[in-house]
Amino acid sequence: MSELITASRPYARAIFELAEANKDEGKWSQQLMFMAAIAADASMIEALDNPRLSKQQTAELFIKVCDPHLDKQGMNLTKLLAENDRLALLPDITTLYEKLRSEAEGSIDAEVISAFEVSDKQQKAIAKSLKKRLGRDVKLTTRIDTSLMGGAIIRAGDLVIDGSLQGRLTRIGTSLSR
């Protein structure tokens, strides 16, 4: 997994620098998200792994599937990734690109995983608290995971705050076993 991130990082950085120079970060976000979704599709994964297709044929197939959503630079990226057997990295490249974009915009993506639905008021309070702690604007997403039993886990960049009941029980069990 970490080797995929390592291999994806130079591509994400180069794309971000190009997008930033041309002031079209949003266009690249949309294009990369579409390309990543196609690259993650089961039938496309099978096609990308087909040894009978040349690198050029793989690129042409991918471009044909993505055609109305790719500009010339997107097509060039597809050819480059196909030539280096890296089309499967598109989901990771996209994730890293979005992280670079958020950092440049002075914002951070945060996720709240809760055992129960988080109200709008609670979301605003969490976002405000994270903004104060991290010194950046926070883009908050939420999801429900009933296995937590209660409480929540908050992830923002490298910061993880585990306030879940499941997490507390695990920590208690660990300290008792010592």
Count the domains in the chain. 2
Averaged over 65-89, what is the pLDDT? Answer: 93
- Whether the per-residue pLDDT at 90 is higher than 70: the answer is yes
Per DSSP bridges, beta strands 107-114 and 137-144 are: parallel
Nearest CA to 59 among 75, 71, 73? 75
Same domain, 90 and 11: yes
Same domain, 21 and 83: yes
Which range of residues forms the domain containing residue 97? 2-102
Task: State the CATH number of the domain containing residue 48.
Answer: 1.10.520.20
- H helices present in 52-115, as ranges: 55-66, 72-83, 90-104
Same domain, 135 and 161: yes
Averaged over 136-141, what is the pLDDT? Answer: 88
- Whether the per-residue pLDDT at 2 is higher than 80: the answer is no
Domain boundary among 72, 102, 132: 102
Averaged over 113-134, what is the pLDDT? Answer: 92
Looking at residue 91, its pLDDT comes to 95
Burial of residue 172 (CB within 10 Å: 0-12, 13-18, 19+) is: exposed
Same domain, 34 and 96: yes
Nearest CA to 94 among 19, 28, 143? 28
Same domain, 97 and 126: no
> Per-residue confidence at 120, pLDDT binned at 50, 70, 90?
very high
Structural Rg of the chain based on CA atoms: 20
CA 96 to chain centre: 6
Domain boundary among 43, 77, 102: 102
DSSP state of 146: G
Same domain, 91 and 113: no
Looking at residue 61, its pLDDT comes to 93
Same domain, 118 and 81: no
Per-residue model confidence as pLDDT tens digits over 17-54: 999 999 989 999 999 999 999 999 999 999 888 999 99
DSSP state letters, 22-56: HT-HHHHHHHHHHHHHHHHSHHHHHHHT-TTS-HH
Stated pTM of the model: 0.67
Domain boundary among 51, 83, 102: 102
Same domain, 147 and 165: yes
Same domain, 10 and 75: yes
- Whether the per-residue pLDDT at 1 is higher than 70: the answer is no
> Per-residue confidence at 87, pLDDT binned at 50, 70, 90?
very high
Same domain, 29 and 68: yes
Q: How far is it, in rounded angstroms, from Cα 74 to Cα 65?
A: 13
The rounded mean pLDDT for the chain is: 90
Averaged over 79-89, what is the pLDDT? Answer: 94
Same domain, 138 and 87: no
